[in-house]
């Protein structure tokens, strides 16, 4: 009962807010045929990405990528007959609590589509918030399978999933002839997702053997325990699926321990800092990754635009974030409204929308039909394209 | 097996260096200084700033440069410890213990996010890296940097022990830890001794910070959190308030972790370390070498 009263109050406050914003913008009449954010004024897109914390560099790449798309679309006339797009960025900090607070913040700010989400563990608890607000989410980077297993209608992922990444990892192991592997994760949702999926695919396939599957605690400096375990099993390849800080340390400590096999990292570790931290061990580290601007063919013009605007190089997930905004704009345009349900339907109907990862059509579970993962390798401290496995 | 013992010893000496500061401060003013792990972080960042400002250092000089930076960082973190004590703990000397404990947590967060605001939240790669020859000793891989760092740690601990056992300040420290009021009546300048205690404890943590930065190669503003808790565990294992106990506790915790992860798998390392803390707190709150009955919070 108490809950219901509170909801009533919230509802009346919310409608009052709608009433006043509509009143300010375009008069009472126009508010009847539009969604919650009013019929004129900017169309707001919410982006919850890491601005602080260990993943902050990637957050900046994503924010810039999205901003580039917003500016381009606004320059070309905006959406819905001349309304401008506005990007509202809040901090995810790769932390569940912070992400929830920030998601609430962007919902309150009146966004119509969410185009953020980097750390899966932090993005996961924001799903119900956007769902209750009936806002579609286009998730550019976070890619744990768990994000879509709940089957929420409003959740779309435009990065390859953990499952697709695992498939690529296995394909590479087979192609390059690594028959024994160690799988190491950092116990977070995203990371564990990939090791578990890779292990089960390897088991089904049968041609590669998992010698070791283990987890480490993120945030420490000394990983001698896992290094010892790996040295005892002597796998041909170590696949690390956590983030780059611990990845760099583990690669460095493996090198110090005299490990003679190869290491491969998942997309969370693809960051220029990985090679700096890894020091002497940094050459020849493989990575399963979606194409970055550096490795994409035909992205030179896009990179030049990005550089001119932000005086910095684009990085991992800049392209996905750019595409997320373009996709959101396209769906809003197709739907002809800013109402969440209509935009979701428009997203589901999209077929062949050109993106960096290829023409887009969502699968029934709202993921990409092909993950677009390739194999990168570090050369002179930089990630370069090694193998497209095609 | 020998590899396990060596790894345990190496990590344990880091724990021991930090645990000393915990134990000394607790021994004298009964304060669990939860900001102590962040002093370690501060030391790593001061070392980073110094090394960066020195510019390119040729590899042949890197050890010498590191030693100089280590000393300067120890002086600076020691001073930081003194300032923290003066500003945050001394005004609360007569306050309930819980108030001081909460203040310590507050100081910890201030240090962490203060550094994050100044140096940025991103992890930094250390400008010099201790790389060196590796040789096999009884089947264990031992590297030269490891030996150098352990010698530094052992040297610092021996110096500290001598200081506490042989000098008048050391005697004053021991007497304050037995009975602060009686020491005051005997004419000991209690505040000055407490200041020195904070200086020494913080300097040791700062040294550990620089060493960790140079060996592991990565520092970030939250690096002091887990290791602070581990050092606290080490101090409890050895007997909190007991200097030799802190050294012993650090090494024991290093071994416990090394063997625990070997038998149960890497993901159990912290479960194992903190389970040991709980076991000691329930079964033997005075730790291995503790003599006095410690009051629990």
Cα separation, B206 vs B247, whole angstroms: 16
Q: Report CA-CA distances (Å) from A98 to A56, A136, A209.
A: 13, 20, 39
The domain limits of chain A are 1-33, 36-160+299-361, 162-293+373-387
Structure letter (DSSP) for residue A280: G
Please give the pLDDT value at position A31: 37
Give the minimum alpha-carbon distance from B76 to chain A in angstroms, rounded to a whole number.
Answer: 23
Cα separation, B205 vs B219, whole angstroms: 14
B116 contacts: CB under 8 Å, gap ≥ 6:
A52, B221
Please give the pLDDT value at position A299: 82
**More confidently predicted of A175 and A13:** A175
A158 token code pair:
């435009």
Give the closest residue to A225 by CA, choosing from B259, B136, B172. Answer: B259
Structure letter (DSSP) for residue A374: E
User: How much is the average pLDDT of B255-279?
Assistant: 85
Residues of chain A found within 8 Å of residue B4, distances taken between Cβ atoms: 228
pLDDT tens-digit readout, B5-22 = 888 999 999 999 999 988
Question: How many beta carbons lie within 10 A of that of residue A284, not counting itself?
Answer: 11
Please give the pLDDT value at position B286: 83
Confidence band of B264 (pLDDT split at 50, 70, 90): confident
User: How much is the average pLDDT of B176-184?
Assistant: 87
Cα separation, B274 vs B283, whole angstroms: 14
**CATH number of the domain where residue B248 is located:** 1.10.3470
CB A101 within 8 A of CB A122: no
Q: Report CA-CA distances (Å) from B93 to A43, A311, B81, B172, B216.
A: 56, 52, 16, 18, 38
pLDDT tens-digit readout, A224-241 = 888 988 998 899 999 999
Nearest CA in chain B to A52: B121
CA dihedral A313, A315, A317, A319 (to 10 degrees): 40
| Position B131 pLDDT exceeds 90 | no
Please give the pLDDT value at position B116: 87
A67 token code pair:
């901003």
| Position A14 pLDDT exceeds 60 | no
User: How much is the average pLDDT of A362-385?
Assistant: 87
Q: Calculate the CA B212 to chain-centre distance.
A: 11
Please give the pLDDT value at position A388: 80
Confidence band of B122 (pLDDT split at 50, 70, 90): confident
- Strand B124-125 and strand B218-219: the pairing is antiparallel
Alpha helices by DSSP H, listed for chain A, are 2-25, 27-30, 56-75, 96-108, 120-123, 127-132, 146-149, 162-176, 189-205, 224-233, 244-256, 272-278, 300-310, 318-335, 340-349
| Position A352 pLDDT exceeds 90 | no
Please give the pLDDT value at position A36: 46
**More confidently predicted of B141 and A377:** A377
| Position A285 pLDDT exceeds 70 | yes
Residues of chain B found within 8 Å of residue A52, distances taken between Cβ atoms: 116, 121
Cα separation, B161 vs B7, whole angstroms: 24
% residues pLDDT > 70 (chain A): 90
Q: Which domain holds residue B196?
A: 2-283
Q: What is A36-160+299-361's CATH number? A: 3.40.50.2300
pLDDT tens-digit readout, A142-196 = 988 888 888 899 999 998 888 889 999 999 999 999 999 999 999 888 899 899 9
Burial class of A172 by CB neighbour count within 10 A (0 to 12, 13 to 18, 19+): buried
Instruction: Say if B279 falls within a structural domain.
Output: yes
Instruction: Say if B296 falls within a structural domain.
Output: no
The full DSSP string for A316-327 is TTHHHHHHHHHH
Phi, psi of A79 (to 5 degrees): -125, 165
Q: What is A162-293+373-387's CATH number? A: 3.40.50.2300
Selected residue of A56, A59, A212, A224 to mutate for chain B interface (largest B Cβ count, 10 A): A224
Give the closest residue to A245 by CA, choosing from B284, B99, B222, B148. Answer: B222
Do the two domains A36-160+299-361 and A162-293+373-387 of this chain adopt the same fold? yes
| Position B294 pLDDT exceeds 50 | no
Nearest CA in chain A to B211: A221
B7 touches chain A (CB under 8 A): yes
| Position B30 pLDDT exceeds 90 | no
**More confidently predicted of B266 and B218:** B218
Please give the pLDDT value at position B266: 72
Domain count, chain B: 1
CB A210 within 8 A of CB A183: yes
| Position A11 pLDDT exceeds 60 | no
CB B224 within 8 A of CB B176: no
User: How much is the average pLDDT of B81-108?
Assistant: 92
pLDDT tens-digit readout, B140-164 = 888 888 888 899 999 999 999 899 8
Residues of chain A found within 8 Å of residue B227, distances taken between Cβ atoms: 220-221
pLDDT tens-digit readout, A303-347 = 999 999 999 888 888 999 999 999 999 999 999 999 999 999 999
Lowest mean pLDDT among A162-166, A269-273, A308-312, B135-139: B135-139
pLDDT tens-digit readout, A292-312 = 777 777 788 899 999 999 998
Nearest CA in chain B to A57: B122
Please give the pLDDT value at position A25: 40
Give the minimum alpha-carbon distance from B10 to chain A in angstroms, rounded to a whole number.
Answer: 10
Instruction: Say if B289 falls within a structural domain.
Output: no
Chain A residues with at least one Cβ partner in B under 8 Å: 52-54, 56-57, 187, 214-217, 219-222, 224-226, 228-229, 245, 248-249, 252-253, 256-258, 273, 276-277, 279-280
Measured at the alpha carbon of residue A245, what is the angle toward residues A233 and B147, in degrees to the nearest 5?
A: 65
Furthest C-alpha separation in chain A: 74
Give the closest residue to B248 by CA, choosing from B126, B164, B157, B160. Answer: B157
User: How much is the average pLDDT of A52-66?
Assistant: 87
Confidence band of A38 (pLDDT split at 50, 70, 90): low
Please give the pLDDT value at position B137: 78
Please give the pLDDT value at position A39: 66
B164 token code pair:
């506490």
Please give the pLDDT value at position B292: 55
Cα separation, A101 vs B204, whole angstroms: 39
**More confidently predicted of B261 and A182:** A182
- Strand A262-265 and strand A286-290: the pairing is parallel
Please give the pLDDT value at position B59: 66
How much is the mean pLDDT over chain A?
A: 85
CB B216 within 8 A of CB A221: yes
Using only C-alpha atoms, what is the Rg of chain A?
Answer: 22
């Amino acid at each position: 009962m108490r809950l219901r009263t509170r909801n009533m109050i919230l509802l009346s406050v919310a409608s009052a807010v709608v009433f006043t914003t509509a009143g300010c913008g375009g008069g009472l009449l126009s508010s009847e045929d539009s969604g919650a954010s009013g019929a004129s004024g900017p169309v707001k897109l919410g982006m919850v990405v890491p601005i602080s914390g260990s993943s902050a560099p990637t957050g900046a790449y994503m924010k810039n990528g999205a901003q580039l798309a917003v500016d381009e679309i606004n320059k070309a006339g905006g959406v819905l007959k001349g309304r401008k797009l506005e990007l509202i960025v809040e901090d995810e900090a790769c932390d569940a609590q912070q992400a929830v607070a920030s998601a609430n913040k962007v919902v309150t700010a009146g966004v119509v589509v969410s185009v953020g989400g980097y750390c899966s563990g932090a993005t996961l608890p924001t799903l119900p918030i956007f769902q209750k607000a009936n806002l579609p989410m286009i998730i550019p980077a976070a890619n744990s399978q768990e994000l879509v297993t709940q089957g929420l209608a409003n959740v779309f992922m435009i990065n390859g999933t953990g499952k697709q990444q695992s498939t690529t990892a296995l394909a590479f192991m087979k192609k390059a002839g690594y028959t024994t592997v160690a799988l190491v994760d950092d116990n977070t949702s995203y990371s564990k997702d990939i090791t578990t999926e890779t292990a089960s695919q390897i088991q089904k396939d049968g041609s590669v053997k998992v010698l070791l599957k283990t987890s480490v605690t993120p945030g420490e400096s000394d990983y001698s325990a896992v290094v010892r375990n790996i040295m005892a099993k002597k796998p041909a390849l170590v696949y690390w699926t956590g983030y780059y800080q611990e990845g760099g340390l583990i690669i460095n400590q493996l090198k110090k321990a005299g490990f003679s096999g190869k290491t491969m990292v998942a997309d969370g570790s693809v960051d220029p800092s990985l090679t700096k931290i890894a020091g002497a061990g940094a050459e020849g580290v493989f990575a399963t990754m979606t194409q970055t601007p550096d490795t994409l063919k035909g992205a030179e013009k896009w990179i030049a635009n990005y550089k001119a605007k932000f005086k910095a190089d684009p990085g991992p997930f800049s392209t996905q974030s750019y595409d997320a905004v373009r996709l959101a704009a396209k769906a809003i345009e197709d739907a002809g409204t800013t109402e969440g349900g209509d935009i979701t339907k428009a997203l589901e109907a999209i077929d062949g929308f050109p993106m960096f990862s290829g023409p887009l059509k969502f699968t029934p579970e709202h993921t990409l039909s092909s993950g677009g993962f390739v194999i990168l390798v570090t050369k002179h401290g930089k990630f370069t394209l090694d193998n497209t496995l095609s | 097996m020998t590899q396990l013992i060596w790894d345990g010893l190496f990590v344990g000496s880091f724990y021991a260096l930090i645990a000393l500061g915990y134990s000394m401060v607790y021994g004298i003013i009964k304060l669990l200084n939860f900001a102590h792990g962040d002093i370690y972080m501060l030391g790593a960042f001061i070392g980073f700033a110094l090394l960066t400002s020195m510019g390119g250092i040729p590899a042949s000089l890197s050890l010498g440069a590191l030693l100089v930076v280590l000393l300067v960082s120890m002086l600076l973190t020691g001073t930081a410890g003194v300032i923290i004590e003066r500003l945050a703990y001394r005004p609360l000397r007569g306050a309930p213990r819980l108030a001081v404990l909460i203040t310590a947590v507050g100081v910890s967060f201030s240090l962490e996010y203060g550094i994050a605001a100044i140096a940025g939240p991103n992890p930094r790669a250390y400008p010099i890296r201790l790389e060196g020859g590796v040789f096999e000793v009884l089947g264990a891989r031992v590297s030269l940097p490891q030996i150098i760092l352990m010698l530094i740690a052992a040297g610092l601990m021996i110096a500290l022990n001598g200081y506490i056992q042989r000098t008048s300040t050391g005697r004053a420290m021991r007497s304050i830890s037995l009975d602060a009021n009686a020491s005051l009546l005997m004419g000991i300048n209690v505040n000055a001794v407490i200041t020195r205690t904070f200086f020494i404890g913080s300097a040791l943590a700062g040294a550990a910070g620089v060493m960790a930065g140079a060996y592991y190669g990565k520092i970030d503003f939250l690096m002091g959190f887990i290791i602070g808790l581990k050092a606290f565990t080490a101090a409890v294992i050895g007997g909190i308030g007991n200097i030799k106990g802190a050294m012993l506790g650090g090494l024991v915790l290093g071994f416990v972790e090394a063997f625990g992860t070997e038998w149960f798998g890497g993901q159990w390392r912290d479960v194992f370390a903190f389970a040991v803390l709980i076991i000691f707190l329930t079964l033997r709150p005075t730790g291995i070498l503790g003599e006095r009955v410690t009051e629990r919070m």
